[in-house]
């Protein structure tokens, strides 16, 4: 599979208002193509030797690979978690129409 210029980034945050602000600011800065928020997701994880269960807003960001470093820097400096998730997936598997849509975004 070849590498494309389009990427999908997964992250999560525990506050819907902060998630909306994060996405809005990145859109206004031209860093991302779009962001999808899934409020009310449940996260189970181990922290300090204890199993925890929290509610989060899962965020899916569509962006151009060339902006990844700026997006990562933006998220890492504004995210309230000490270790925010940033999972990046190559979107070369996307439809040609989606990839054309992404390519035509500033």
Write out pLDDT tens, residues 5-51: 889 999 999 999 999 999 999 999 999 999 999 999 999 999 899 99
What does pTM read for this prediction? 0.85
- The residue written with tokens 């899916």 in the block is 60
Per-residue confidence (pLDDT) for residue 1, from 0 to 100? 46
What residue spans define the domains of the chain? 6-103
| Residue, of 93 and 87, whose pLDDT is higher | 87
Give the DSSP per-residue string, 92-105.
TTS-HHHHHHHHT-
Per-residue confidence (pLDDT) for residue 93, from 0 to 100? 63
Distance CA 76, CA 78 (A): 6
Nearest alpha-carbon partner for 83 in 13, 18, 21, 32 = 13
Q: Which residues pair with 22 in a beta bridge?
A: none
| Order of strands across the sheet that contains 50-64 | 34-47, 50-64, 6-13, 87-90
**Assigned fold of 6-103:** Alpha-Beta Plaits (3.30.70)
């Amino acid at each position: 599979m070849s590498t494309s210029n389009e990427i999908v980034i997964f992250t999560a945050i525990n506050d819907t208002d902060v998630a909306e602000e994060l996405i809005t600011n990145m859109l206004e800065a031209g860093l991302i193509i779009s962001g999808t928020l899934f409020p009310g997701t449940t996260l189970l994880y181990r922290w300090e030797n204890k199993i925890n269960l929290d509610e989060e807003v899962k965020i899916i960001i569509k962006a151009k690979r060339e902006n990844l470093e700026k997006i990562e820097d933006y998220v890492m400096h504004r995210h309230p978690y000490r270790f925010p998730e940033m999972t990046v997936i190559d979107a070369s598997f996307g439809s040609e129409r989606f990839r054309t849509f992404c390519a035509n975004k500033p």
